[in-house]
Structure 1
Amino acid sequence: MHQVISNIQLFSPYIIIGLSVIVILLFIIVLVQGKAINNIESRYKKMMRGTSTQNLEELIINNLDSINESEEKSKECLKEIKDLKKKTKSCVQKIAITRYKAFEDIGSDLSFSIAMLDENNDGLILTSIFGRNESTTYAKPVDKGISRYDLSEEELDVLNEAINKVN
């Protein structure tokens, strides 16, 4: 025991220097850890900003509930979009019109043909022939881009123009 004490006394300056270095290192570690804790605390406060709760678990649960609600609304919107796509397929999507002189003795382009088609090229051709003494309007149905009635040159032109329109 006496020898241990004499060894300690002999190496006491080195032990004191070593312990001082360890204390300085520990002090530096405490400072670094304090800075890291401050950074984490500021990030936590930033994340919790605008909430009345001080509990991270409540905030996460509220956010998850909000996400679930948003997913449900998104699914509803997608379903509505599919329904609307089905409905719009049968709506008039392609329209073409041409005006022309049906008779040489009429001064202006007062006659016209209009083609109105849906996505499947189903619809009608509406034609109005204007003459000096009378005016006639009639419609011809179109099924998949073809009419079962004879079409005039102007009606064929307006039908082809409508069919070739891109949605």
Structure 2
Amino acid sequence: MSVVVLLLIISQFLLHRRFKQVQRRYKLLMRGPGGADLEQILDRYANGVKGLEEKTQEISRNQEVLNEKIAEALCNPGLVRFNAFDNMGSDLSFSLALLDRRGDGVVLTGLYGRDETRVYAKPLLKGTSDYSLTEEEEKAIKKTLEKI
């Protein structure tokens, strides 16, 4: 019986030592760096994550607005130069298509003559116009739409 009691006392002593070690580690863990306990550290990280989520949502909204603005911006104008009149020496006349990514915009045509120069503008919706288009204007529109 005394052997059993002695073994129990030794095991109790070892368990007590082990418990003190675990308790010391637990106190260090709960104290954390800078004297903050684990709960405060986790709360700070949770608030940081919430702030990052809000910032991500704001960035997503801004990106959607920018995508809409980019779709409305003019991109890759198509230019075709040509000789409008046979008696003129150079390709001084032009057709210039200015379209956004949806094909909306305008086609400008400048006709150069010896005595005068005229510029015409025709609105475009999805790459087509209500006005009749010349061959050069259609080429300029096609050039622009191929680049989009």
**TM-score, scaled to structure 2:** 0.70
Identity of aligned residues (%): 34
The alignment status of 1:116 with 2:116, answered yes or no, reads: no
**Corresponding residue number in structure 1 for 2:8:** none
Asked which structure has the greater RCO (Cα within 8 Å, sep 6+), the reply is 2
**Corresponding residue number in structure 1 for 2:138:** 156
Once residues 140 and 58 of structure 2 are traced to their aligned partners in structure 1, the CA distance between those partners, rounded to angstroms, is 40
* Count of aligned residue pairs for this structure pair: 129
**Corresponding residue number in structure 1 for 2:121:** 139
**Corresponding residue number in structure 2 for 1:96:** 78
Per-residue deviation at 1:53?
A: 4.1
**Corresponding residue number in structure 2 for 1:22:** none
Per-residue deviation at 1:54?
A: 4.2
Once residues 110 and 163 of structure 1 are traced to their aligned partners in structure 2, the CA distance between those partners, rounded to angstroms, is 24
CA RMSD of aligned residues (A): 2.9
Matches within 5 A, 1:2-151: 52-151=34-133
Q: Which amino acid aligns with 1:66?
A: G
CA offsets 1:109-155 (integer angstroms, 9 cap, x no match):
22111111122211110111111111111101112211121222111
Once residues 70 and 53 of structure 1 are traced to their aligned partners in structure 2, the CA distance between those partners, rounded to angstroms, is 25
Q: Which amino acid aligns with 1:135?
A: T
CA offsets 1:25-61 (integer angstroms, 9 cap, x no match):
x9xxx9xx9xxx7xxx8xx7xxx67xx4443332222
**Corresponding residue number in structure 2 for 1:17:** none
Structure 1 gap ranges (5+)? 9-25
Once residues 71 and 53 of structure 1 are traced to their aligned partners in structure 2, the CA distance between those partners, rounded to angstroms, is 28
- Whose Rg is larger? 1
The answer to whether the 8 Å contact 1:94/1:119 transfers is no
Q: Which amino acid aligns with 1:159?
A: I
Per-residue deviation at 1:94?
A: 4.5
**TM-score, scaled to structure 1:** 0.63
Once residues 112 and 94 of structure 1 are traced to their aligned partners in structure 2, the CA distance between those partners, rounded to angstroms, is 16
